[in-house]
Amino acid sequence: MVYLLVGIAGIFGASLRYLMGLPFKDTLVYGFPIATFLTNMIGCFVLGWFTTFLPKIKFLSPSFITALGTGLVGSFTTFSTFSVETVRLMMESKWSIAVIYILLSLWGGLLFSLLGYRAGMLYKRDGGMEES
């Protein structure tokens, strides 16, 4: 059953990824692939949030939580596109843009994951807000 849920969630994640890219179709800011970068940062935040928040919701099954994290977010984000775009930048001798893209993706991804994780920790299991 979990495989089916992951697959269905993956359909939605891949569709969201496609829709996210439409407004940025062929949009490069000085060669920087903005659509993939934004998609991956959003995905890092959401997965961090899902990881800490969803298990606190009592009526969600572990299978459904896995489907959302692995299926939805996993198919929404795109490491392969990031890699191909980086290689393309390098082959076009756009080394500075490639290095900026790599560093922003790495550190931005970690930062957004942390922010999502912390956002998910704000909620107690009973649905109220955590006190600082």
Q: Which two tokens mark 30?
A: 């000085």
Question: Does 48 show up as a binding residue in the annotation?
Answer: no
Q: Tens digit of pLDDT for each residue in 8-22? A: 999 999 999 999 888
What is the structure's pLDDT at 103?
98
121 sits in the region (left: phi over 0; alpha: psi -120 to 50; else beta) called alpha
Q: Tens digit of pLDDT for each residue in 71-105? A: 999 999 989 999 999 999 999 999 999 999 999 99
In the predicted model, what is the mean pLDDT of residues 37-63? Answer: 94
Question: Does 74 show up as a binding residue in the annotation?
Answer: yes
For the entire predicted model, the pTM comes to: 0.87
